[in-house]
């Protein structure tokens, strides 16, 4: 199964790199083409969010390891964790954002690369973090002011926070971070060297190309939906049926649909409530990033505890 996942993910990196270049060239040529933020929201709520929509199945598996039969405990803890993230973001937005960016960087680096890495170590985890950190650094490097504007929309109005960002910009710390991310990709490539691990650099250049040509929101949407989420979803499809990827996809679609729809319903309720106070684009940005944070924290915690206890 591992070899099958690895082969499909390798092909996926090549395809994603190819279409990333084609898509960016077309947008650059037809620079009047405007991609609506509503489309970004739809893609994230469907393709993006769905890769975590089997968490209830993993939750049941985790509960069974602790001999807990009631599945309601999982749903209660999961929902309370998500709600706690939203409340914490409202009360302490700067701290919550920084924590989210750190955790998301590690999560992106790990999920996008671990199929190529056999051994686990703390050094490898550090490399995962710096590799995934490129997702955060690239929009800051290519579109600094536009990215800062998104931070402001996420309820962050802290002079110390923005002074820190200005310090980071003027002292080329973003460039140093990108160099560190580049070195992490090189280390991961050379560690237990295999030529097929060259796809690490395909993903690396895809992220840079997306953020060079596209706005931060659109670049993140394409990465999150069509590289990160699809890669994870493919692995889940294979786990559901090792003999048939098509049947695995059918099972995945059926099992993921309820929670995906539920997430969409809550998101559109929030869209309706917030639209009275903010314009549509601003509301969408709040829903996407604060909403993803509220889903990412319990998702990563679940993965961590399941992986730890399965050992």
Environment class of 168 (CB within 10 Å of its CB; exposed 0-12, middle 13-18, buried 19+): middle
Q: How many CB atoms are closer than 10 A to CB 265?
A: 11
Each residue's pLDDT tens digit, 197-208: 888 999 999 999
Q: Convert 271-304 to b/e letters by CB count within 10 Å (16 or more is b).
A: beebeeeeeeebbbbbbbbbbbbbbbbbbbebbe
Angle subtended at Cα 189 by Cα 133 and Cα 192, rounded to the nearest 5 degrees: 130
Res 130: pLDDT: 94
Q: Rounded distance, CA 126 to CA 132, Å?
A: 10
Each residue's pLDDT tens digit, 22-66: 888 887 777 655 677 888 989 998 888 887 777 877 888 888 888
Is the confidence at residue 138, as pLDDT, over 90?
A: yes
Each residue's pLDDT tens digit, 149-178: 888 877 666 666 667 767 776 678 889 999
CB 113 within 8 A of CB 128: yes
Share of the chain above pLDDT 70, in %: 92
Place of tokens 């509960």: 63
92 vs 161, more confident: 92
Is the confidence at residue 180, as pLDDT, over 80?
A: yes
Q: Rounded distance, CA 292 to CA 252, Å?
A: 21
Q: How many domains does the chain have?
A: 1
CB 287 within 8 A of CB 271: yes
DSSP state of 106: H
Confidence band, pLDDT 50/70/90 cuts, at residue 311 = low
Pick the closest to residue 108 from 184, 42, 57 (CA basis): 184
Question: Domain of 122?
Answer: 2-310
Tell me phi and psi for residue 133, to 5 degrees: -65, -20
Is the confidence at residue 225, as pLDDT, over 70?
A: yes
Element (H, E) at 85: helix 72-91
Environment class of 61 (CB within 10 Å of its CB; exposed 0-12, middle 13-18, buried 19+): middle
Please give the mean pLDDT across all residues of the chain: 85
Average of pLDDT values for 95-99?
86
Q: Convert 69-89 to b/e letters by CB count within 10 Å (16 or more is b).
A: eeeeebeeebeebbeebeebb
DSSP codes joined into one string, 222-276: HHIIIIIIHHHHHHHHHHH-SS-HHHHHHHHHHHHHHHHHHHHHHHHHHHHHHTT
Average of pLDDT values for 274-283?
83
């Amino acid at each position: 199964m591992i070899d099958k996942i690895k082969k499909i993910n390798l092909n996926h990196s090549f395809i994603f790199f190819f279409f990333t270049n084609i898509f960016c060239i077309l947008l650059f040529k037809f620079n009047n083409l405007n991609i609506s933020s509503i489309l970004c929201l739809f893609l994230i709520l469907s393709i993006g969010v769905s890769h975590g929509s089997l968490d209830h199945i993993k939750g049941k598996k985790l509960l069974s390891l602790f001999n807990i039969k009631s599945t309601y405990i999982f749903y209660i803890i999961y929902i309370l964790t998500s709600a706690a993230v939203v409340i914490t973001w409202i009360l302490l937005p700067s701290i919550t954002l920084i924590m989210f960016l750190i955790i998301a960087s590690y999560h992106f680096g790990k999920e996008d690369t671990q199929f190529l890495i056999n051994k686990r170590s703390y050094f490898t985890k550090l490399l995962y973090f710096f590799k995934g950190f490129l997702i955060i650094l690239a929009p800051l490097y290519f579109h600094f002011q536009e990215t800062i504007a998104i931070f402001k929309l996420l309820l962050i109005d802290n002079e110390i926070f923005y002074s820190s960002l200005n310090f980071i910009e003027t002292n080329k710390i973003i460039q140093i971070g990108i160099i560190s991310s580049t070195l992490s990709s090189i280390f991961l490539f050379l560690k237990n060297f295999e030529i097929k691990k060259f796809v690490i650099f395909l993903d690396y250049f895809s992220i840079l190309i997306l953020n060079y040509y596209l706005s931060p929101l659109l670049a993140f949407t394409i990465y999150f939906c069509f590289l990160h989420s699809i890669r994870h979803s493919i692995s889940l499809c294979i786990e559901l049926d090792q003999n048939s990827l098509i049947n695995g996809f059918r099972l995945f679609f059926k099992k993921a649909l309820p929670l995906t729809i539920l997430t969409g319903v809550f998101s559109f309720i929030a869209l309706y409530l917030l639209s009275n106070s903010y314009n549509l684009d601003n509301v969408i940005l709040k829903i996407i990033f604060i909403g993803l944070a509220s889903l990412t924290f319990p998702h990563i915690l679940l993965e961590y505890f399941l992986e730890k206890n399965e050992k």
